[in-house]
Each structure stands twice: as structure tokens, then as C-alpha cells.
Amino acid sequence: MNFEELLAFAGRNPMLSMALVGLTVAIVYLEVARLFRPYKALRPAELTGLINREDALVVDLSAIGDFEKGHIAGSRNVAPSQFDPENKLLAGARALPVVAVCRNGQASADAAKRLKKAGFEKVYWLDGGIAAWQHADLPLVKGKG
């Protein structure tokens, strides 16, 4: 396929061509934004290493019912509505690695951004949340923790 054929295809299929361009721009934007975010994403295996090597504080932002159904061993539960970087649980952890976790990774990404903005030095986020943890066949603890 040469450039003229590509232009002819785009001329015959303008909506499809615009959709392709739009998706490409969106993907590039998301990847560039990922590179410049102030916190680091972790995969489940990286999180286990960080917990074992550096005694990371894992903050689980799941609802209490979800937390009790299953959470990462040693994690502390803070409801998203009560999350505050000045929370007493977090007060002494500014120099420690702090990892934000939730069920799917959405609420914890926002929490990680807030922690970094509040001056926490080592802020991480479990990419994919507890769902990714389970997908990696890593254990969860039931109960209040």
C-alpha cells in the first residue's frame, strides 16, 4: 500500500479515518500523561517486593465491606470519603513508601496524586488494584485486618 492509496481510502471513508486519528491521539495522550505523573505505578509482584524490602505502608481505599471480603495482608483501610494526606495513619509515613490501592485502580490513582501533592516522597499506586492482585494469583486476607 502506498501513500496515494492511503489517501484514497481516507477520502472514501472519512468517518473511519477520523475515528482512527481520534483513537491514535487519545492513546498517545494517555501514554504521555502516564510518563509525567508524579507517582509510580506498580505491578503486583513489584508491590510484594516493596513491602518485603522497604516495609511499605499499603493504604486500601476500598469500602469497608469490600476490604473485609479480601485485602492485601498488612494493608490499612481508609474510606475514600475520609482519605486525607494529613490523616493520623499517614502522618508518620512521609518518608516511607506509601502505596495506594483500591478495587480497580481508579480511586487509588487519585489518592496517590494527592499524597504526592501533599509532600510524600515515595508514592506508589497498584496498577489495576485488587483485581490485578487477584489476577496474579496473590493471596488476600479476610476480615478487618
Are 7 and 19 part of one and the same domain? yes
Are 54 and 117 part of one and the same domain? yes
139 phi and psi, to 5 degrees?
Answer: -75, 150
Are 65 and 30 part of one and the same domain? no
Provide the angle, in degrees to the nearest 10, between the axes of the packed helices 3-12 and 14-36.
110
Supply the range of the domain harboring residue 8: 3-35
Are 72 and 31 part of one and the same domain? no
pLDDT digits (tens, 9 = 90+) for 80-139: 888 888 888 787 788 889 999 999 888 898 899 999 888 888 999 999 999 999 999 999
Reported pTM: 0.75
Are 70 and 99 part of one and the same domain? yes
CA distance linking residue 103 with residue 106, whole number of Å: 8
CATH of the domain at 98: 3.40.250.10
Residues contacting residue 71 through CB under 8 Å, at least 6 positions apart: 60, 62, 77, 130, 140, 141, 145
